[in-house]
Amino acid sequence: MRKKETISSLQGAKGKRKLTMITAYDALFASLFAEEADMILVGDSLNMSFGGKADTLSVTLEQMIYHTGAVCNGAPQTFVVCDMPFGSTNSEEEALANATRVFQQTPADAVKIEGGAERADIVRRLVHNGIAVMGHVGLLPQSVRGEGGYRVKGRDEKSFQKVLEDAAAIEDAGAFSIVIEGVTPELGALVTQELSIPVIGIGAGAQTDGQVLVWSDMLGFFEAFKPKFVKQYLNGARLVKEAVSQYAEEVRQGIFPAEEHCYR
């Protein structure tokens, strides 16, 4: 069994080995990912791929706590990060109370907070109170309605500078690591070079310190759409449909259950 990562081992990896993070929402899949993933993220993306919703905004803190507990049960030897849901970190007080609940009610190792410089004081407050925080800058899925869509950052000078400033502010506030999403590869590379903490990319090019993907995207289970940055390592949906179709056919034809499935 591999040794569990810690904040210092993750930070020590910068420039030496690439870090892998994958999302999981339940104990079963978390246990399947545990051997290879340095970190598991209980992402609020579960609201879409697990909950069938159009975006991440309606997931609740209670739901995130439930799924984080399940993931920690399935992968007790893996560093687990719980995504703080939309609306749960609007003020320092609220963020501290809600992140404290995550730490009290689950064994998660860290929380993740979406947002840039405007969130730096909130991150600082949590870190000062013993809560490890992973930042999340660039394209912010929780801002999809506020920005009128998923907007890639770094294609223009203004958003390029803003993401650079955001990343620096979140590092300065004490985040142990940062996710950078939906930016040009040049911006992903520059943020990785400027920061001394690990920068984990998703749709941010190949030069970041590590990568994160949503499990149902990378294993081909989520069929609604496939973002450009996703590589499918499995056609999960096809395999599941074929297996279920075979099961249904065998039940209809009386092939299943066979003798070996019967009690004597």
> By the criterion CB under 6 A, which residues form the site for ligand KIV?
23, 41, 43-45, 83, 179, 181, 202, 212, 214
**CA dist 47 → 35, 85, 140, 157, 194 (Å):** 25, 10, 15, 33, 33
Instruction: Mention every residue, 6+ apart, whose C-beta is less than 8 A from residue 164.
Output: 187, 190, 191, 194
- Give the residue with the Cβ less far from ligand KIV, 224 or 258: 224
Q: What are phi and psi of 114, to 5 degrees?
A: -80, 135
Which of these is catalytic: 181, 186, 194, 250? 181
> Would you say 81 and 110 are in contact if contact means Cβ atoms under 8 Å apart?
yes
Active site residue 171: no
How far separated are the first and last CA of the chain, in Å rounded? 38
- Give the residue with the Cβ less far from ligand KIV, 115 or 174: 115
**Least distance (Å) from ligand KIV to the CB of residue 130?**
23
**Least distance (Å) from ligand KIV to the CB of residue 252?**
39
Look at the chain and count its residues. 264
**Least distance (Å) from ligand KIV to the CB of residue 248?**
32
**Least distance (Å) from ligand KIV to the CB of residue 259?**
45
**Least distance (Å) from ligand KIV to the CB of residue 46?**
7
For residue 81, the SS3 value is: strand
- Give the residue with the Cβ less far from ligand KIV, 147 or 249: 147
Identity of the amino acid at 72: C
Considering only CA atoms, which of 154, 147, 229, 163 is closest in space to residue 199?
A: 163
Considering only CA atoms, which of 26, 34, 29, 27 is closest in space to residue 236?
A: 29
| CA 47/CA 54 separation, integer angstroms | 8
Report which residue's Cβ sits closest to ligand KIV: 43
> Would you say 214 and 181 are in contact if contact means Cβ atoms under 8 Å apart?
no
- Give the residue with the Cβ less far from ligand KIV, 184 or 208: 208
- Give the residue with the Cβ less far from ligand KIV, 83 or 166: 83
Q: Which residues are catalytic?
A: 181
